[in-house]
């Protein structure tokens, strides 16, 4: 393994910006910008493993399924997740190769379509709460609940939306391939969207499940697997903040695991936004990581150098 290796978790804004329609051109443009930031880090001597979100892309795939259901058989959620991994991996791979060439670097880039092992008895399967896919009318929601057994929730002012379980990741099925590629100096794109969630039966056979895995939790597993000291979580804010969205907002440059746990317990980091990032950082640090950094994409290299973002330490 290279002396300096970092796992970078790209937030959804690195692929699709708010208010964009999601055309291939839009997404490629965003991915090229993100790739140039990653190439800057590679140029500083780092070996890089990358993971990414996929929420909007999976939503679009599910909507296409719904619109075409009378013509083509809809695909299950695990297959849709795999489709999104392939699409985003292709965009990142091509853009990274271009950015590396511009930086004068000769490094291979590879996407590993990744399955993430989850526990079939995870309590999340009893309490689905992760919204996915398009919005439905009350009549459509009632029909889908009856026909497909989906759990639907009402989103005020928007309509009804399907919710699915979000179990915690246990391991990456393709871990040996990922480790070998990273050890060989490749820039590896893996576990996109948290990976395709699968469960194992008594004989070890795998089966995809209708669920989604939070990519930040999977990023912590990827970082531990690759054996890195640094986990860099890139999002759309420059620093973690207390009292976010309030006049007494307070940005944090550095905090310990203990302080992070105290803020979590006080409700400072909500489950749907900063919470999973903080929890993933804590998990990484408590299993041997030296430093987790949460920063904006624009300041990725500066944050890794310790001059931007929020640094969490044991």
- Residue 75 near residue 196, CB atoms below 8 Å: no
130 catalytic per annotation: yes
Phi/psi at 2 (5° precision) = -60, 155
12 catalytic per annotation: yes
Phi/psi at 175 (5° precision) = -60, -40
Among candidate residues 22, 33, 130, 185, the one labeled active-site is: 130
Structure tokens at 5: 């290796």
148 catalytic per annotation: no
Among candidate residues 13, 30, 54, 65, the one labeled active-site is: 13
- The span from the CA of 8 to the CA of 50, in Å, is 5
66-77 burial: b if 16+ Cβ within 10 Å, else e: eeeeeeeebeeb
53 catalytic per annotation: no
277 catalytic per annotation: yes
| DSSP labels, 123-167 | GGGGS--EEEEEEE-HHHHHHHHHHH--EEEEETTTEEEEEE--P
- The span from the CA of 191 to the CA of 88, in Å, is 11
Structure tokens at 248: 């007494």
Among candidate residues 30, 53, 193, 215, the one labeled active-site is: 215
- The span from the CA of 86 to the CA of 249, in Å, is 39
Among candidate residues 59, 65, 133, 277, the one labeled active-site is: 277
Q: What strands lie across the sheet with 115-118, from one edge to the other?
A: 169-172, 115-118, 196-200, 206-208
Q: Residue 146 burial (CB < 10 Å; 0-12/13-18/19+)?
A: exposed
DSSP helix/strand/coil, 239: coil
Q: List, by residue number, the catalytic residues.
A: 12-13, 130, 215, 277
């Amino acid at each position: 393994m290279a002396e300096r290796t970092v796992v970078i978790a790209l937030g959804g804004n690195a692929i699709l910006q708010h208010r964009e329609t999601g055309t291939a051109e839009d997404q490629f443009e965003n991915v090229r910008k993100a790739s140039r930031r990653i190439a800057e880090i590679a140029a500083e001597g780092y070996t890089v493993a990358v993971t990414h979100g996929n929420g909007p892309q999976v939503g679009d795939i599910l909507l296409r399924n719904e619109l075409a259901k009378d013509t083509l058989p809809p695909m299950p959620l695990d297959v849709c997740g795999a489709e999104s991994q392939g699409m985003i991996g292709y965009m990142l791979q091509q853009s990274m190769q271009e950015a590396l060439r511009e930086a004068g670097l000769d490094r291979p880039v590879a996407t590993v379509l990744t399955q993430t092992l989850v526990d079939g008895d995870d309590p999340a399967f009893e309490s689905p709460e992760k919204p996915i896919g398009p919005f439905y009318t009350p009549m459509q929601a009632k029909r889908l609940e009856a026909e497909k057994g989906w759990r639907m929730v009402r989103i005020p002012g928007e309509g009804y939306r399907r919710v699915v379980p979000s179990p915690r990741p246990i391991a990456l099925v393709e871990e040996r391939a990922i480790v070998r590629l990273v050890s060989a100096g490749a820039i590896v794109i893996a576990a996109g969207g948290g990976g395709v969630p699968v469960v194992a039966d008594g004989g070890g056979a795998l089966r995809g499940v209708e669920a989604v895995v939070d990519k930040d939790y999977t990023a912590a597993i990827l970082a531990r697997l690759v054996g890195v000291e640094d986990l860099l979580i890139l999002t759309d804010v420059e620093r973690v903040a207390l009292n976010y969205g309030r006049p007494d907002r307070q940005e944090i440059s550095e905090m310990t695991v203990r302080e992070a746990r105290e803020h979590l317990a006080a409700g400072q980091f909500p489950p749907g936004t900063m919470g999973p990032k903080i929890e993933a950082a804590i998990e990484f640090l408590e299993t041997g990581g030296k430093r987790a950094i949460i920063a904006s994409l624009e300041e990725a290299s500066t944050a890794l150098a310790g001059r931007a973002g929020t640094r969490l330490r044991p």
